[in-house]
Amino acid sequence: MLTRFSRSPSVRITGKRVLQAIPVLIGVTLITFCLLNLLPGGTCLSILGVGATRPAVHACDIRLGLDHPFFVRYWDWAYGALHGNFGSSLVSDQPVGQILRLRFPVTLEIVVYAFILSVFFSVPVAVLAARKPHGILDRISIATSMFGLSIPGFVFGLLLILVFAVHLRWFPAVGFQPISAGLGPNIRSLTLPAATIGFALFCAYTRLLRADMVDQIAGEDYIVTARAKGVKYWQILIRHALRNSMFGLITLIGLNLSMLIGGTVIVESIFGLPGMGQQLLQAIGYRDVTVVQAIVSIIAVGVVAAALVTDLLYAVLDPRIRYGRPSS
């Protein structure tokens, strides 16, 4: 039974990918650790201030365990992190886990909202655009995605505030309403931030889907076959072209996750949302190494996990990989 299970290609692929992710995770956390510990500008100096005496700095180093060798410190940190203990903030002495529990849901909500908005709009728009390449809808979609890819996120966010908060007064410009204040106000306070991130994603997704579908329609044999059989054009677009283009979309989604997180930092700062991004900026400002380390590691782990899920999704979607045949 077990041998049969382990011979199944999908299980083997999953196992291999998970094993491959482990060294990457170690590397990623190690690089963060290096970056935060090796860069000049000591932690204790920034806690105690510029005028701190040498013995005071030394005492602080010992108190925080900063006098241990680098790898010992990394091991201690990694051991704690694996047990869910990220240490406590150097500035406020609050446990990092507690800080993250407060901040994480806000960021997650923005990301999910932005993601839903972008996918919800980009798939139909791309299909409509690809229906008639070089048609009017197609040209509008190309121009829109070029616009979206060329405008920095913070500029677009400010434009949204200018139009929808200052002039039209549809949404609040800044501030966050927790979900306990009701779903309506909560969604309303997150719409502009999510739209800011979502628009950039929408443009990237639309551009990719549209280009891929147009390519397929122009040159692929299965499309020609389907057309020759008299399958309706809409059906070809959705069941043949779109389905194949989903691979590209999934890759892009996986790759874009770190961009998305960069986006939340900006958006949280513009719209004054109490998420992980704001916490991170604050912590970097105070050189609160434990908090920065925890947040950056969580982000990096998230990105690696996303890459893993992307790979596994391929296996689910593509029968050639699922059944272990070489893909072309």
Partner 1 sequence: MAALAPDVVTRAAGFDLGGGGVAHPAAFDLGPSRFRRTLKSLELWLPIGMLTFIVLICFLWPVIHTVPSPINGNLLDANLPWFTHSSLYGSHYLGTDTLGNDVMSQVLYGGRTSMEVGLGVAVIGFGIGGTLGVLAGYMGGALEAVVMRILDMFLAFPALVIAITIVTYLGQGELNVIWAIAFFAIPAYARLARATTLRIKDQTFIVASRLSGASDKRILFRHIAPNVAPQLLTFSFLGIGVYIIVEATLSFLGYGLPSNVASWGKMIANGQVFLGTEPRLVLVPSACLFILIISLNLTSDALRARWGAQ
Binding region for partner 1 (CB under 8 A) = 23-24, 27-28, 31-32, 35-36, 39-41, 132-135, 146-147, 149-155, 158-159, 161-162, 166, 214, 217-221, 224, 233, 258-259, 261-262, 265-266, 269-270, 280-281, 284-285, 287, 292, 296, 299-300, 303-304, 307
Nearer of residues 1 and 50 to partner 1, judged by Cβ: 50
Length of the chain: 328
- When the beta carbons of 220 and 318 are compared against partner 1, the nearer one is 220
**In the complex, least distance from residue 313 CB atom to partner 1, rounded to whole angstroms:** 18
Torsion of CA 17, 70, 76, 292, to 10 degrees: -70
Q: In terms of CB distance, is 62 or 149 closer to partner 1?
A: 149
Angstrom distances, CA of residue 169 to CA of 157, 177, 273:
15, 17, 19
CB of 6 to partner 1, least distance (A): 26
Q: Which is nearer to partner 1, 140 or 155 (CB)?
A: 155
Question: What's the min distance (Å) between Cβ of 304 and partner 1?
Answer: 5
* Contact between 230 and 150 (Cβ < 8 Å): no
Residue 218 Cβ vs partner 1, minimum distance, rounded to whole Å: 5
Helix-helix angle 9-38:289-317, to 10 degrees: 160
In the chain, how long is the greatest CA-to-CA distance?
A: 84
**Smallest separation, CB 40 to partner 1 (Å):** 6
Dump strand ranges (E) for the chain.
none
As measured in angstroms, the least distance from the Cβ of 191 to partner 1 is 18
Q: Compute the distance between CA of residue 304 and CA of residue 255 in angstroms, rounded to an integer.
A: 10
CB 119 within 8 A of CB 206: no
Residue number with CB closer to partner 1 (55 or 230): 230
Choice between 303 and 315, CB closer to partner 1:
303
C-alpha R_g of the chain = 24
Token readout for 319 is: 């029968």
